[in-house]
Amino acid sequence: MPAPRCDETAAWTALHRHFEDSGRALDLRQAFASEPHRFERFGIEAPEVFADLSKNRWSEATRALLLTLAQECQLAERRDAMLRGEPINTSEGRAVLHTALRAPQGVGPHSDTVHDMLDRFLAYAEQVRDTASSGFTDVVNIGIGGSDLGPQMAVPALDAWCHPGLRLHFVSNVDGHDITPVLRRLDPTRTLFIVASKTFTTQETMANAQVARAWFLAQGGTDLGRHFVGVTTNLDAAAEFGIHRTFGFWDWVGGRFSLWSAIGLPIAIAIGAENFRALLAGAHAMDRHFAEAPLAQNLPVQLGLLDVWYRNFHGFTSRSVAPYHQGLRRLPAYLQQLEMESNGKQVDALGRPLTQATSPVVWGEPGTNGQHAYFQMLHQGTDVVPVEFIAVKRPTHEHADLHTKLLANCLAQSQALMLGKTAAQAATERAPTASPDLPPEVLAQQRSFPGNRPSTTLLLEELTPRALGALIALYEHRVFTSGALWGINSFDQWGVELGKALCNQLLPRLASGDVAGLDGSTAGLLERLRG
| 240 tagged catalytic | no
| 115 tagged catalytic | no
Alpha carbon separation from 332 to 326, 390, 416, 493 (Å, rounded):
12, 11, 22, 19
pLDDT value of position 14: 98
Q: How many residues does the chain have?
A: 531
Binned average pLDDT, 10 residues per bin, the chain of 531 residues: 91 98 98 97 98 98 98 98 96 97 95 98 98 98 97 98 98 98 97 96 96 97 96 94 95 95 98 98 98 98 98 98 98 98 97 97 97 97 98 97 98 98 94 93 95 98 98 98 98 94 96 97 97 87
Catalytic residue chosen out of the listed positions 45, 372, 393, 441? 372
Alpha carbon separation from 187 to 164, 192, 196 (Å, rounded):
17, 10, 21
- Please name which of 266, 214, 218 lies closest in space to residue 241, comparing C-alpha atoms: 214
Catalytic residue chosen out of the listed positions 60, 397, 500, 527? 500
Fold agreement (29-86+293-425+441-488, 109-278): yes
Q: Give, as one character, the DSSP assignment of residue 264.
A: G
Class of the domain covering 109-278:
alpha beta
CATH pick for 29-86+293-425+441-488 out of 3.40.1190.20, 3.40.190.10, 3.40.50.10490, 3.90.550.10: 3.40.50.10490
| 500 tagged catalytic | yes
- Provide the residue ranges of all domains of the chain, joining segments of one domain with +: 29-86+293-425+441-488, 109-278, 497-530
Catalytic residue chosen out of the listed positions 48, 204, 339, 341? 341
pLDDT value of position 1: 64
Query: What residue ranges in 358-407 does DSSP mark as E strands?
Result: 361-363, 387-394
